[in-house]
Chains A and B, each alone.
Chain A
Amino acid sequence: MKGVFPLEEKLVPVVCPYCGVGCRLYIKSLDGYPRGIEYAKDIPGISNENGKLCPKGNAVLEYLLAKDRLKKPLKATEQGKFVEISWSEAIKEVAERLRAYSKDDPNAMMFFGSARTFNEPNYLIQKLARMLGTNNVDHCARLCHSSTVSGLKAVFGAGAMTNTYKDIEEANVIFIIGHNYAETHPVGFRYVLKAKERGAKVIVADPRFTRTAWFADIFLQHYPGTDIALLNGMMHVIIKENLYDEDFVRRRCVGFDELARTVEKFTPEYVEKITGVPAELIVQAARTFATAGKGVITWAMGLTQHTHGHDNVRLAATLSAICGYQGKEGCGVSPMRGQNNVQGACDLGVLPNVFPGYQAVTDPEKRKFFEEFWGVELSGEVGLTVIEAAHAIEKGKVKAYYVMGENPVISDANTNHVLKALQKLEFMVVQDIVPTPTMEFADIVLPAAAMLENEGSLTNTERRVQWSFQALNPPGEARPDWWIVSEIGKAAGFSGDGARGFRYTSPEDILREINACTPQYRGITPERLKSNLAGIHWPCPSEDHPGTRVLYKERFLTPDGKAHLAAVDYRGPAEVPDEEYPFLLTTIRYVGHYHTLTMTGRSRALVKRWPEPLAEIHPEDAERLGIKTGDWIKIETRRGAYPVRAKVTRTVKKGVIAVPWHWGANVLTNDALDPVSKIPETKACACRIAKISEEEARELMKAVPKVIPEFEVVKG
């Protein structure tokens, strides 16, 4: 080809910008323009063996070429109408406004980090928020895995996956609960199938008969929101039949007696009444799980997105602990993160209660360290979470929002409430790669470079930190996230040297600063990551440390070093079906789509295959209501109405409706919060259903926010 094209084609190793598996791939690029992708077959030890990719990974270039990519900073003249401005104007305005709020009342500001961008900008956004004097900083993990973080912290002392994919492959039993593994993480599911081929048993608990359940040896189809009863029922059998690991419980756990007392009443027959799972299946599942020798429990949003999500996770961890499945290879608990950097954003303190490395803001000693490190006085008050912030805006407490790579209008529970709240904001900054429905409320829009258009480190769901290189040129004037946040930091007056300011020249600088203040990342230097493409599992306390595959080999991270077993009595969903709203609504996702469709919605190959949402309804319910596959139906809850086409199928239980949430089904969901983790209950609420005509559906559709909006932009 040389001679015809004097430019050289490059193969750049990057990390897939989609889910939390953290697959590696190569981007073929010519002078910074995309030419295609290549599978990373030649890198040993990466999380996607042999370079395997799912459909999203295969279509990775398409969203980057979207026609409506943001290319210039925008300023709103009125709601939804923008004029183009220059970078210097945009940065000056944002910095000045933030500075003013910081002087009056720092807690009137709210910052959103993003699990879809690198560790470095996430570190910077929480540093900016905290240096401006507020701990109001959070990100979308609040809506998916905050109960995992809080629940695992309560039992084991830290909120991360205790093992790696290798351990899933080596396990003898894999218990998948509230997680459609095959559809949400197809490449991760590879490890489950490999274990199964080796002879491992797979137990799946899910309200739907999912693609994952096809591969189950034992399938427990329980009602949404009855996980506590199911887990307690299994532990009842395990304790009663003396199948638990007595030695492990005696040496390394506390609270076993209380657990035994609490699960006493959860006999399989009693649990059958609550969950709808036959008693003998519960007994069978409990025996299979406890006697396998090596077992992994894996979960995702089906377990966490409940008002009792924190307790669900604690029980799952307790089940793993009493069977002795901790601190060993081939064992562990593995929450599967949905976005590629949920773990990293949590690790780097984009949470209202902790500094980087899960160091509590309320701990005076830790605060003192960061006060000296950053050279400013810091607030010791725990900040607001995502949903709390929406309520605080209504009360007039929060007036300014800085949203980096987030889309709360679609992702937050109870959309109509969020829309009302956002209207009341005085000042809002949205930093993103494409227009989102959230942008409608923005005063300033900052165009960011997409993940493949800049470089940095990412932490996948198994605590593996990897470096992704820049493969392509960003469009127009779009800039990397770290550059934007550091410019705003400098303009806001933080121009000190080193860690005391925002004078960075590259993401490597920022990662070195992270090394200095985050104990788990101490040895994960940019040089090491760049030379080791497979990445390093944290904790990695020094530069010569190889990284840690299995956590808690000696002791847990709780103050006394023991696992604190949870004893929880049964609580159902916050809203249960009644006469007015007789159905139970749950949300699901499709394999080809990702979160709020900002990326996959602009990919032709994916939209062609998964063009629209289909609400799943049981044939008997459908017959009673006169609904056939393809009919338009209206789903109504106490919070809103949503028009959608129906799919009559036996995958759901009678009385349950399942809707994919990518297209904005959160207008329906309940924003009741878990008291500890503050996660909203998006996985279960009461609803009613009516058949409607297509015209009515179109009419209703107008009230639902458009996932791919169009805005009026005046060229500057």
Chain B
Amino acid sequence: MARKTVFIDFSKCIECRACEVACEREHNGRSFINVFEWQEMAAMALNCRHCEKAPCVEVCPTNALYRDEDGAVLLAPQKCIGCLMCGIVCPFGIPELDVLDKIMMKCDLCSHRRAEGKLPACVETCPTDALLFGDFNDIQRMRRREFTEKAIEIAKKGERISLRAL
């Protein structure tokens, strides 16, 4: 099972909150991604991490929480009894209670968009590419490659300088 996730690079986030507005539009006026700012210096978006060992899935007494083929943790509304267990165990405080329907709501990685072969709305809109969607291992591999390329470049620069000094 390919496990896809939204990767968040907070060094690129400009706190424009486009992801929030996009999510809100796709999910009937409720945003499942939130941008937090600290010390006016840095911001970071946070959404459901769709954890590998998701405590919300493990604890759900009615099996309302399940995984789809991309590995996203989804909620079957007809099974949910609104017991809040998933919200209590989630370390990120992600599942919320819908006050009208008395069931839980959470990020579904835009399953309706993925069904059409599109990316989640928050990722699609992010103007600075601070949000990436893809297989966890692929993203990690890409990040390692980028880091290595940069390190090689710096090393080459250093070589040139030291050669000149000689």
Q: Which residues of A contact B (CB under 8 A)?
A: 36-37, 39, 41, 48, 50-55, 57-59, 182-183, 186-187, 189-190, 193, 199, 209, 211, 214, 591-592, 604-606, 609, 649-651
A39:B24 contact, CB within 8 angstroms: no
A187:B127 contact, CB within 8 angstroms: yes
Q: Which residues of B contact A (CB under 8 A)?
A: 12, 14-18, 20-22, 24-25, 29, 40-42, 124-129, 153
- 19 A-B pairs besides A58-B22, A190-B127 with CB distance below 8 A are A37-B25, A39-B124, A41-B124, A48-B127, A51-B124, A52-B124, A55-B17, A55-B21, A58-B18, A58-B21, A182-B14, A186-B127, A190-B129, A211-B15, A214-B41, A591-B16, A592-B21, A605-B25, A605-B29
- Of the candidates B20, B21, B41, B126, the one having the most CB atoms from chain A within 10 angstroms of its own CB is B21
* Minimum distance in angstroms from A416 CB to a CB of chain B: 33
- Alpha-carbon gap, A57 to B22, bound state (A): 9
* Minimum distance in angstroms from A693 CB to a CB of chain B: 27
CB < 8 Å neighbour of A186 from B25, B42, B124, B128: B128
Chain B hits for A606, CB < 8 A: 21
Given A214-B41, A609-B20; A183-B14 close (CB under 8 Å): yes
CB < 8 Å neighbour of B18 from A37, A50, A53: A53
* Minimum distance in angstroms from B46 CB to a CB of chain A: 16
Interface of B is mostly: loop
* Minimum distance in angstroms from B114 CB to a CB of chain A: 14
- Alpha-carbon gap, A609 to B23, bound state (A): 14
* Minimum distance in angstroms from B131 CB to a CB of chain A: 11
- Alpha-carbon gap, A101 to B24, bound state (A): 51
B125:A193 contact, CB within 8 angstroms: no
- Alpha-carbon gap, A55 to B22, bound state (A): 7
- Alpha-carbon gap, A199 to B157, bound state (A): 13
- Alpha-carbon gap, A605 to B22, bound state (A): 9
* Minimum distance in angstroms from B51 CB to a CB of chain A: 28
Which 8 residue pairs are nearest across A and B when measured between Cβ atoms? A182-B14, A58-B21, A186-B16, A55-B21, A186-B127, A55-B18, A58-B22, A187-B127
A23 nearest CB neighbor, chain B only: B127
B24:A53 contact, CB within 8 angstroms: no
- Alpha-carbon gap, A244 to B15, bound state (A): 37
CB < 8 Å neighbour of A53 from B29, B41, B125, B128: B125
CB < 8 Å neighbour of B25 from A51, A58, A189: A58
* Minimum distance in angstroms from B159 CB to a CB of chain A: 17
A59:B41 contact, CB within 8 angstroms: no
A55:B40 contact, CB within 8 angstroms: no
B12:A58 contact, CB within 8 angstroms: no
A193:B128 contact, CB within 8 angstroms: yes
Given A605-B24, A605-B25, A650-B40; A52-B127 close (CB under 8 Å): yes
Chain B hits for A190, CB < 8 A: 127-129
* Minimum distance in angstroms from B81 CB to a CB of chain A: 30
CB < 8 Å neighbour of B20 from A37, A50, A55: A55
- Of the candidates B14, B22, B24, the one having the most CB atoms from chain A within 10 angstroms of its own CB is B14
- Alpha-carbon gap, A606 to B21, bound state (A): 8
A54:B18 contact, CB within 8 angstroms: yes
Chain A hits for B24, CB < 8 A: 605
Chain A hits for B41, CB < 8 A: 214
A189:B17 contact, CB within 8 angstroms: no
A-B contact pairs, 14 of them (CB 8 A): A36-B25, A53-B18, A53-B125, A54-B16, A55-B16, A57-B125, A58-B25, A182-B14, A186-B16, A186-B128, A189-B14, A190-B127, A193-B12, A211-B14
Given A193-B12, A605-B25, A650-B40; A39-B125 close (CB under 8 Å): yes
- Of the candidates B15, B22, B29, B127, the one having the most CB atoms from chain A within 10 angstroms of its own CB is B127
- Alpha-carbon gap, A41 to B15, bound state (A): 23
B127:A54 contact, CB within 8 angstroms: yes
Given A55-B20, A591-B16; A214-B124 close (CB under 8 Å): no
A592 nearest CB neighbor, chain B only: B17
Given A54-B16, A186-B16, A650-B40; A605-B21 close (CB under 8 Å): yes
Chain B hits for A211, CB < 8 A: 14-15
- Alpha-carbon gap, A58 to B128, bound state (A): 15
Given A39-B125, A51-B124, A187-B127; A649-B40 close (CB under 8 Å): yes
- Alpha-carbon gap, A207 to B18, bound state (A): 26
A182 nearest CB neighbor, chain B only: B14
Chain A hits for B127, CB < 8 A: 48, 52-54, 186-187, 189-190
A651:B40 contact, CB within 8 angstroms: yes
Given A39-B125, A214-B42; A186-B18 close (CB under 8 Å): yes
* Minimum distance in angstroms from B6 CB to a CB of chain A: 16
Given A52-B126, A189-B128, A214-B42; A59-B16 close (CB under 8 Å): no
Chain A hits for B128, CB < 8 A: 186, 189-190, 193
- Alpha-carbon gap, A592 to B153, bound state (A): 38
Chain B hits for A189, CB < 8 A: 14, 127-128
* Minimum distance in angstroms from B125 CB to a CB of chain A: 5
Chain A hits for B25, CB < 8 A: 36-37, 58-59, 605
B22 nearest CB neighbor, chain A only: A58
CB < 8 Å neighbour of A58 from B14, B15, B125: B125
* Minimum distance in angstroms from A211 CB to a CB of chain B: 5
Chain A hits for B14, CB < 8 A: 182-183, 186, 189, 211, 214, 591
B16:A182 contact, CB within 8 angstroms: yes
